[in-house]
Chains A and B, each alone.
Chain A
Amino acid sequence: MKKLLLGNEAIAQGAFEAGVHVVSSYPGTPSTEITENVAKYDGVYCEWAPNEKVALEVAIGASIAGARAMCCMKHVGLNVAADPLYTAAYTGVNGGLVIVVADDPGMHSSQNEQDTRFHALAAHVPVLEPSDSRECKELTEKAFEISEEFDTPVILRITTRVAHARSLVETGARKMIDKKPYKKDIMKYVMMPGMAKKRHVFVDQRMAKLEECANKMIHLENAGAKLGIITSGISYQYVKEVFKDAAILKLDMVHPLPAQAIREFASSVESLLVVEELEPFIENFVRQLGIAYVEGKKYFTNQGELSVSAIRKAYFGVDPDCATLSGDAGVSVTDAPARPPVMCPGCPHRGVFHVLSSMKLRVSGDIGCYTLGAMAPYQSIDACVCMGASVSMAHGMEKADKQCEAQSGKPNEDGLTGTVAVIGDSTFMHSGITGLIDIVYNKGASTVIILDNSITGMTGHQQNPTTGKTIRNEDTHPVNLVKLAEAVGVRRVRVEDPFDMKKFKAAVKEEIESGEPSVIIAQRPCALLKSVNYGAPVVINPDKCRKCGACMRLGCPAIFKDGDAYKIDHSLCVGCGLCQQMCAFGAIEKA
């Protein structure tokens, strides 16, 4: 039957139908729902790993053991998993191995716009790229077949608009795939120089064979037209709307690229255009083939997403016909105030950042909801680079300060009281712990604040090693953050409630001044968890309110100014009561 599935749901369905046995992933927008949906199927082993490197290694192990295995991640996750990827490309597979990587052009929820196709190029692994949910399912199945036929990991590359768009998919039954027999094969699976040299030869031969496969994985539309367009993925859907009369060569495999099919297509058209998001990956290849008249990035930016209107504007110079307001309307579209994402009402991070912003600290940040601590009114976070970096960067900042002070013989004049790292519980498990080990090992003195909200928040509530639950919500052994920090040698470890702001501030001050490594675990669950119930909302008693505006400094979206009065939006307030600590006049009361 036909179902309206997210691209991510369709990939899960495709893997299920392809008989996948083992799936290990780390959540990351826009890839998270794939593994969440796999967990709904019986007969598939499925887990959240602590990070993408571990996840891919689990999948590689499962593949070597003979099972069909899959591993899903966002684009930056592939950087973490690059180490196993580049060598798994040499070992090849036993059971089919599919790595789903979700790129995020436009950075809806990411810190950069890297293009996974270049990782694949460097690692010598094939890449399939679907353009809607139906193709997500079909190409996932195909990826398992290619993986086993060509003895290679296969990357299924999607982008946000494919991952998070729903379209109709014909679903079918699961193929019961038997585990491949396991045979000890040291020359294939033990990558020491002698073996790897031989496998590198195999890898190059394999890429040549895969090119033949790529030549078959094409779709030709409107052959005979003067303008020819080469495209793939979501760009194909945009091209279909913009260029109704052009010839289209749609590629399902984007690495290796089908040289023969491209040459034939190029010679059949008068002008040739490549429409692709991000980098000119296909265009560069076409040019390398000696097809000098190809055009692409001459018109289209490598920044952000393409769209129907962006393509029309760039290629034809045509603006869309939109609803507009007249000059006399008294309001214009540009009057709409920006609405950036904010910490939710009741968010435990709010207490932390309100405290930190009042302390003249340098705050080394990390990836999660709490990156919003960089925004007004807190403007607390100084740097955010990648998963786990907060801890190691804080160490680098501290060492830099000390080294430079020693060299100049003068104290730093940056007016800071110290440096702290802030990192979520899941991110700490992902790659924060290694930074903490570095601090202890190399005699650092940084203070690390672990924001333990009992869940992986940003990606929509996934379990992690600290929560005591598996992806299927089964009970499991939770990692004890206190014992873990102590075990690596941190002597000063304390658990604090970020909603007791006075005490929390004192704790931060004390740890910064301690002169040795310290960990503060700021413990309070995410306000969106169903188990969290603060009861009735709070209200501002207008008789007691002196209109000082102190409550507004918390940056809670539920508190607003109406004329000269301060009010609380009861449809947003969750009743956490943090704002009551801000009011010196006791004007904020439980409703």
Chain B
Amino acid sequence: MENLNILIVGVGGQGTLLASKFLGAAASLMGKDVKVSEVHGMSQRGGSVVTCVKMGDQVASPIIDLGEADIILSFEAVEALRWLPYMKPTGTIITNTQEINPMPVISGQAVYPEDVLGKMKKDGISMVAFDALSVAESCGTVKCVNIVLLGVLAALLPEIGEEIWKQALESVVPAKLLAVNEKAFQEGLALGKKKGETL
């Protein structure tokens, strides 16, 4: 397998860390070399956060640099735009359509650009965009947005089998929350398969 670089971006508190753990666990269950780079500390407080997951036969740097991501998994619309330069020209964005206003927008010092995702897509960026928040809510909790997004990602990575995903999820989610997260993953997977066809 070619090295696969997945950049997970979002807003602190959205569950990007758990998503990267989940993905890292799946890669290591496949017997791949894997490195995951996380962000802790101050930026976790509602700031723009990024986590890198790199897998392959041998991984050196744990960081996904400019132009290196095969896939950007974005939890928020404008974060997909912000991190775009980290994607390969041939890469794909999977993104939640949710918009969360950063403080400079709330305090009137900056503007949240309109229809970011639509404009990016129209300009030829390969993208799967959907309302992951609503899907997560329909599964029972807004907190499983991360797992819904991972489900969509799984649809694009058929080389990682369903059994691996299942085991990986069990290894990162507490037992009492497993059912709701499994549901969220399956919903995401089904959605990803459907969206993937129109990519």
Contacts and interface: CB of A to CB of B under 8 A. Distances in A.
Contacts, number: 215
Contacts of B68: 308, 320
A440 B145 CA distance: 52
B13 A344 contact: yes
A336 B86 CA distance: 14
A70 B133 CA distance: 44
Interface string A336-367: 11111111100000000000000000000000
Interface in A254-296: none
A459 interface: yes
Contacts of A164: 37-40
Contact of A337 (B37, B98, B105): B105
B43 A108 contact: yes
Contacts of B104: 337-340, 376
Interface string B64-104: 01111000000000110110111111010000001011111
Interface in A184-220: none
A166 B24 CA distance: 8
A309 interface: yes
Contact of B107 (A320, A336, A372, A377): A377
B25 interface: yes
Given A4-B34, A326-B123, A338 B110 contact: yes
Interface residues of B, number: 67
A134 B87 CA distance: 28
A109 interface: yes
A487 interface: no
Nearest to A342: B46
Given A109-B43, A309-B65, A331-B116, A165 B103 contact: no
A305 to B, nearest CB: 9
Contacts of B38: 6, 164-166
B61 A241 contact: yes
Contacts of A109: 40-43
A547 to B, nearest CB: 14
B170 interface: no
Contacts of B122: 329-330
Interface string B173-197: 0000000000000000000000000
Contacts of A531: none
Contacts of A166: 21, 24, 34-38, 62
Interface in A122-174: 132, 161, 164-168
Nearest to A235: B61
B111 interface: yes
Nearest to B90: A323
A225 interface: no
Nearest to A328: B123
Nearest to B47: A341
Given A29-B41, A341-B46, A344-B45, A552 B89 contact: no
Nearest to A2: B28
Given A323-B67, A333-B85, 12 more contacts: A108-B42, A165-B37, A166-B62, A320-B65, A322-B66, A323-B125, A325-B123, A330-B122, A337-B111, A339-B46, A460-B40, A556-B106
Interface of B: 11-13, 21, 24-25, 28, 33-48, 59-63, 65-68, 78-79, 81-82, 84-89, 91, 98, 100-113, 116, 119-120, 122-125, 133, 142
Interface of A: 2, 4, 6, 29-30, 32-33, 108-109, 132, 161, 164-168, 234, 237-238, 240-241, 307-309, 320-326, 328-331, 333, 335-344, 369, 372, 375-377, 458-460, 552, 555-557, 559-561, 569, 571-572
6 contacts: A164-B37, A238-B61, A339-B11, A460-B41, A559-B106, A560-B101
The 7 residue pairs across chains A and B that have the minimum distance between CB atoms: A109-B41, A29-B41, A341-B47, A165-B62, A320-B67, A337-B110, A329-B123
